[in-house]
């Protein structure tokens, strides 16, 4: 049996249209505001988005350097409205850490 397989770094290419699809909107909550002290910005992204795609999209759209991308999946809850059952949508959140000296103002548009 041979040793461990070598790590192969795959390159990801993202089209211009996909860049705009990947960053749905900024996420402005108490937690994301506290993250801004540590050079972090939060975004809502599609459920099928990967971390390398999100990194390329943020760097391409905002002209900043990304240090790390952390994602979380928020499952949709089942809620009642006027006695009827309904389900909230499942969303994916991306917490993007920027390199020192870079920042994104989420209050302005692209």
Range of the domain at 88: 16-98
Q: Where are the beta strands (DSSP E) in 1-110?
A: 25-26, 40-45, 66-74, 78-81, 84-87, 91-98
C-beta of residue 70 within 8 angstroms of C-beta of residue 54: no
pLDDT for position 105: 83
On average, the pLDDT of the chain sits at 90
Q: Which of 45-49, 50-54, 88-92, 104-108 is predicted least confidently?
A: 104-108
Indicate the number of domains in the chain: 1
Q: Answer yes or no: is 41 within a domain.
A: yes
Is a pLDDT exceeding 80 seen at residue 6?
no
Q: Answer yes or no: is 103 within a domain.
A: no
Q: Answer yes or no: is 105 within a domain.
A: no
Q: Which residues contact 69 (CB under 8 A, 6 or more apart)?
A: 51, 54, 55, 58, 94, 95, 96, 97
Q: Answer yes or no: is 8 within a domain.
A: no
pLDDT for position 2: 66
Q: Answer yes or no: is 6 within a domain.
A: no
| Average confidence (pLDDT) over 3-11 | 74
pLDDT for position 7: 74
| Average confidence (pLDDT) over 41-62 | 94
pLDDT interval class at 1 (50, 70, 90): low
Q: Answer yes or no: is 3 within a domain.
A: no
Q: Answer yes or no: is 9 within a domain.
A: no
Is a pLDDT exceeding 90 seen at residue 67?
yes
The Cα–Cα gap between 45 and 26 comes to 9
The CATH number assigned to the domain holding 23 equals 3.30.70.330
Q: Answer yes or no: is 108 within a domain.
A: no
C-beta of residue 77 within 8 angstroms of C-beta of residue 88: yes
Tell me the whole-structure pTM to 2 decimals.
0.83
Is a pLDDT exceeding 80 seen at residue 31?
yes
Question: How many C-beta neighbours within 10 Å does residue 54 have?
Answer: 24
């Amino acid at each position: 049996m041979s040793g461990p397989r070598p790590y192969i770094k795959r390159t990801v290419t993202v089209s211009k249209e996909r860049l705009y699809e990947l960053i749905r909107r900024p996420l402005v909550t108490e937690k994301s505001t506290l993250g801004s002290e540590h050079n972090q910005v939060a975004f809502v992204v599609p459920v099928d988005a990967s971390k390398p795609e999100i990194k390329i999209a943020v760097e391409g759209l905002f002209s900043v350097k990304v240090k790390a991308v952390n994602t979380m999946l928020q499952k949709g809850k089942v809620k009642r409205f006027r006695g009827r059952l309904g389900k909230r949508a499942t969303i994916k959140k991306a917490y993007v850490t920027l390199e020192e000296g870079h920042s994104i103002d989420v209050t302005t548009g692209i």
